[in-house]
Chains A and B, each alone.
Chain A
């Protein structure tokens, strides 16, 4: 079956530090890959996505590259801000015969301190 493995948090960084949150996956077929962000007290929001190998998704300074050879989709940001403090979920979606299946990682909590 499909699975998503994320690094466990919490991850605590100082403002302007470099961020990497690792995500690896196993899936049948050719999944689309997503990063969602959940700010405190809110629902999940799509942060970025990539639908095929070597695609790079980017948004709000975050980026992630779909690496088929290593089955990874690591999230990176060059300089984090306090406002980036949230929980980040890596997810994959596969579609077979019109049936979609979405699998999420456990989420990684990021805390950015001033």
Chain B
């Protein structure tokens, strides 16, 4: 158990809909990262938040957005869903003390868009 929690575990929805994925980082971790893992694209970095502020953006679509709240949990919002958005979405957290360190991954949310 990494200490990072993600809800829900599974999500099935239809095209055009909007969903919200939730992540709670490890206690004491200020950084939250979101990743998308799909069969054809591998693991793609989406976005990084540190202590409530956006720090870096990766291959995140404009239909997707994220935020980190004062209690440090984070939400990833996916809207106007398309079939190709079906994937595993992982959240990871790290202490981010200013030196490179490891990220701890949650179990992921499996999104299926029908």
The interface of chain A, by Cβ under 8 A from chain B, is: 31-32, 34, 36, 42-46, 49, 51, 89, 93-95, 98-107
Contact = CB atoms under 8 A, between A and B. Distances in A.
Contact of B56 (A32, A43, A100, A107): A100
Chain B residues touching A, range: 20 to 34
A89 B55 CA distance: 23
Contact of B55 (A31, A98, A104, A106): A98
A44 B107 CA distance: 8
> What does DSSP make chain A's interface, helix, strand, loop or mixed?
strand
Contacts of B45: 101-104
B90 A100 contact: no
Contacts, number: 57
B84 interface: no
A86 B76 CA distance: 27
Given A46-B104, A102-B103, 14 more contacts: A36-B105, A43-B4, A46-B102, A49-B102, A51-B99, A93-B100, A95-B98, A95-B100, A100-B48, A100-B56, A102-B45, A104-B45, A106-B42, A107-B42
7 contacts: A45-B2, A49-B102, A100-B31, A100-B56, A102-B45, A102-B103, A106-B42
